[in-house]
Amino acid sequence: MSETPLVSIVIPSYNEERDILACVEAALGIVYPNKEIIVADSSDDRTPALLHPLAEGGSIRLIHEDRRLSVSGARNRGIRAAKGDILVLLNADVVPSPDFLQRILPHYRNGADFVICESEVANQGKIIPDFLHAVHVTELGREDDLVWSEGWSCRGAVFERAGLFDERFPGASGEDEAFGRNLLRLGFRRVVDHSIPVRHITPEDLRGLLHQMVGRGRGEYYFTVLFRRLNPAPAVRRILGRWVILAGLIAALPLFPLGTALGAAGILLVGIRALRSGLRLARSHGGLVRVLPFAGLNFLRFRALEYGFVFAHWRAPQHLDGWRQERQ
């Protein structure tokens, strides 16, 4: 590999008018002499209008599709257009540092096939970004489980053997983990470098948080069906069972006197579990003053994840049918 191999930075976007310019300008600001920036866009908001001046000036290559593309579809469109020896895949809410490429390229010179960095929340200082940062810190998992991060990159040759992203994933979750785990299964060499921070912007309000978590729940459903090849129905039944129990506890509260006592006791147990999770998250970030808000947010996070999983199950019977046919 040459000292300055061509690096293609691929950014998929859909209705990212809030964040896209910060992402693209940060990518343009990376100090490296041999890079190209490709934005694969299918937006119907102001994103294309914001990017056109940069494309017309030759700073970026803008690929626009009138039909909406999934994240997998947009990434694949950009990957096909890329010419680089190394490809960096950035989400549109990511803000890479000026020395980002200088820090990842030594790993490729030493034989890495794909590199995972340290994802950091850029907009900390508000309750929901702080909560999401705490979740990341406490639930990161073992290093040997890591297959994806913000600022993910790989050799271009990886796609020749592994193929592209699975476009059956409809949203922006699950497809990345499936791709990364497939690379490990195929024997590609992974390097994890926590010393390279890659900052990304998270939701700042409850609506944005719930929308993101519902999407992740959908992604987990498709990951279960398409990658793990497992029947999702048992998980759906467990989720619905928990919802029925919780609804029953709430419904029992007005009943006198035994129902009130049993309902209150059950809800108290749920509350204790939520408080324990809030305490665990608050210890990692924010201190004890954040226990109650983090407990409430974590409770809502898990319910939104569950809702996304169940909703996907109801909306995607064809994937379950395909799973059944493969198992017969």
User: What does the alpha-carbon distance between residue 247 and residue 235 come to, in Å, rounded to a whole number?
Assistant: 18
pLDDT at 9: 98
CATH, domain 7-203, list 3.10.180.10, 3.30.70.1350, 2.160.10.10, 3.90.550.10: 3.90.550.10
2 membership: H or E segment, kind and range: none
Spell out the residues 6+ positions from residue 17 whose beta carbon is closer than 8 angstroms to its own. 43, 45, 46, 47, 50
For residue range 154-202, what is the model confidence (pLDDT) as tens digits? 999 999 999 999 988 887 788 998 999 999 999 999 999 999 999 999 9
Bond into 48 cis (ω within 30) = no
pLDDT at 327: 47
Closest CA to 19 of 199, 144, 214, 178: 199
Instruction: Please enumerate, as own/partner, the contacts of 260-268 that have beta carbons within 8 Å and a separation of 24 or more.
Output: none
pLDDT at 322: 53
E-assigned strand segments in 14-113? 35-41, 61-64, 86-89, 94-95
Strand 7-13 relative to strand 35-41, pairing: parallel
The answer to whether 290 touches 278, Cβ cutoff 8 Å, is yes
Which pTM value belongs to this model?
0.85
For residue range 154-165, what is the model confidence (pLDDT) as tens digits? 999 999 999 999
Spell out the residues 6+ positions from residue 159 whose beta carbon is closer than 8 angstroms to its own. 79, 87
Ranges under pLDDT 50 in the chain? 263, 323-328
Domain boundaries, the chain: 7-203, 208-327
Q: What are the CA-CA distances from residue 150 to residues 89, 90, 118, 119, 299 (Å)?
A: 8, 7, 7, 5, 25
Strand 152-155 relative to strand 94-95, pairing: unpaired
pLDDT at 99: 97
